[in-house]
A and B are shown apart, each in its own frame.
Chain A
Amino acid sequence: MNADRFTILPGASEPIYQQIGSQLRRLIASGQLPPGEVLPSVRDMAVQHAINPMTVSRAYCQLEGEGLLTRLRGKGMAVAQVARNVLSPEQRLARLQAQLTEVARQARELDLPARLVLQRLKSLLEDSE
């Protein structure tokens, strides 16, 4: 896989390490990055996008911790063989905590009853199934 498959936007509200992480999660979930696919090295990612190497490492380590990536001996990182649903539902829900907190906050600002918000969220969830 080439480093130029990633899009990095400085100035976005999502920090760069999270931008890398969420793009990787999507590419893996959709099967575009099959198990065993080797990721660009930290150095290549950093130089290609002119971003800090520690930022790239942090993104890779986070996905390694989730079981989506495995560390190859001396060859960097690759997509794990069993890369799906290795996290428990609680762990996956924790990934949404920030977004859910934000929705709750804005719902309060708009003075919306919880019932309406939950209804809309429920229909959004069912739509995409």
Chain B
Amino acid sequence: MNAVVHAEMSFADPLRCERITKRYADEIVLRDVSLGVTPGSVLGLIGRNGAGKTTLIRTLLGLEQPDHGQAFVFGEPSLGLTDAAKQRIGYVPQQPDAFAWMRIGDMLAFVGRQYPRWDGDFVELSLARWHISPERKLVSLSPGERQHVALIRGLAVNPDLLVLDEPASALDPVMRRDLLREIVARAAESGTTVLFSTHIVSDLERVASRVVFLHDHRIAVDAALDDLSETHARLTIPARSPALWASRVPGEVSRRRQLDGSVTLVIARSRGAEWPEIVAAPGIRLDALNLEDLFIEVAR
């Protein structure tokens, strides 16, 4: 009986939310956000500062209560996770500030006791590799070192689900590449599901299988990264053809008026589908977009 329940749980999306809306006082932070993260995928969450990335992550994990909608981890409601589910999650918050008064070695040992799959050898190796003495207190660390310790803590859990909130913000390029390799190795060897937020577009382009743009407190783009150049493009309508931009273009994601009076749109289609008829109109330009272009077009 238990085996059946366990099998059903492991087939559920590791992370999912349905129609989440969240306000702080009068300010809206998330607007009707729905998302499912499939097992083994690496999802990159991107958006400008204040777009709601951290709130979305915290709500998905049950650390914030949404005003509407519901979040699930391994099929369980996030707000009432069992210990068994919690033990399968490695979470690296943006500003790790817990246990600041503790020595690093003591803190990691303390946390480790709560996780059955805790990998003590990994902790030792990683501290040595990054030249961090376990005798030091967390308060004495630089921001980069603190981020490292938080990463070691999140990875030592051997999680089935790894959630990283801006994990690379205080790391130099060498350390960042190390971290990306670690993420990729986990995904390749253990099928670990990963959600990470960043605004370093090239990192996301390397390791993510799927990208979600949070803009204006809602999901503006949700796309498979390998297909992005096929599914998304920029359409430029010249200033002399106002009739063409008068109404919404099929698949329109965003639009922007340029200084010369022309209008650029980001349009999306599903894989294998045709572009709307407008792309063949005279004077219209259709350009491929890379991830960074797309981010800037949508988020401006």
Interface residues of A (CB under 8 A from B): 8, 10-17, 42-43, 46-47, 49-55, 58, 105, 109
**Could you tell me if A16 and B226 are in contact, using CB atoms closer than 8 angstroms?**
yes
**Could you tell me if B205 and A17 are in contact, using CB atoms closer than 8 angstroms?**
no
A residues in contact with B106, CB < 8 Å:
none
**Could you tell me if A15 and B226 are in contact, using CB atoms closer than 8 angstroms?**
yes
With known contacts A47-B188, A52-B184, A11–B290 Cβ distance under 8 A: yes
User: With A and B bound together, what is the CA distance between A42 and B185 in angstroms?
Assistant: 10
User: With A and B bound together, what is the CA distance between A69 and B47 in angstroms?
Assistant: 39
10 contacts across the A-B interface (CB closer than 8 A):
A13-B288, A13-B290, A15-B228, A16-B226, A42-B188, A43-B188, A46-B184, A46-B188, A50-B181, A58-B226
**Could you tell me if B285 and A109 are in contact, using CB atoms closer than 8 angstroms?**
yes
Interface residues of B (CB under 8 A from A): 40-42, 177, 180-181, 184-185, 187-189, 201-202, 205-209, 225-229, 285-286, 288, 290-292
Question: 7 tightest CB-CB pairs across the interface, nearest first?
Answer: A50-B180, A10-B205, A53-B188, A43-B188, A10-B202, A46-B184, A50-B181
CB of A46, distance to nearest CB on chain B (Å): 5
**Could you tell me if A50 and B177 are in contact, using CB atoms closer than 8 angstroms?**
yes
CB of A51, distance to nearest CB on chain B (Å): 5
Of all chain B residues, the one with the shortest Cβ separation from A42 is B188
CB of B162, distance to nearest CB on chain A (Å): 14
| Binding site secondary structure of chain B | helix
Of all chain A residues, the one with the shortest Cβ separation from B292 is A11
User: With A and B bound together, what is the CA distance between A105 and B281 in angstroms?
Assistant: 12
CB of A49, distance to nearest CB on chain B (Å): 7
**Could you tell me if A10 and B209 are in contact, using CB atoms closer than 8 angstroms?**
no
Of all chain B residues, the one with the shortest Cβ separation from A48 is B181
**Could you tell me if B185 and A105 are in contact, using CB atoms closer than 8 angstroms?**
no
**Could you tell me if B286 and A50 are in contact, using CB atoms closer than 8 angstroms?**
no
A43 touches which of B180, B189, B209 (Cβ 8 Å)? B189
User: With A and B bound together, what is the CA distance between A53 and B291 in angstroms?
Assistant: 19
B residues in contact with A12, CB < 8 Å:
290
A residues in contact with B184, CB < 8 Å:
46-47, 50-53
**Could you tell me if A43 and B206 are in contact, using CB atoms closer than 8 angstroms?**
no
User: With A and B bound together, what is the CA distance between A13 and B291 in angstroms?
Assistant: 9
User: With A and B bound together, what is the CA distance between A46 and B208 in angstroms?
Assistant: 11
Most buried by B among A17, A46, A50: A50
B residues in contact with A10, CB < 8 Å:
202, 205-206, 291
**Could you tell me if B291 and A52 are in contact, using CB atoms closer than 8 angstroms?**
no
With known contacts A11-B201, A50-B177, A52-B187, A16–B290 Cβ distance under 8 A: no
Of all chain A residues, the one with the shortest Cβ separation from B178 is A50
B residues in contact with A42, CB < 8 Å:
188
A105 touches which of B208, B226, B286 (Cβ 8 Å)? B286
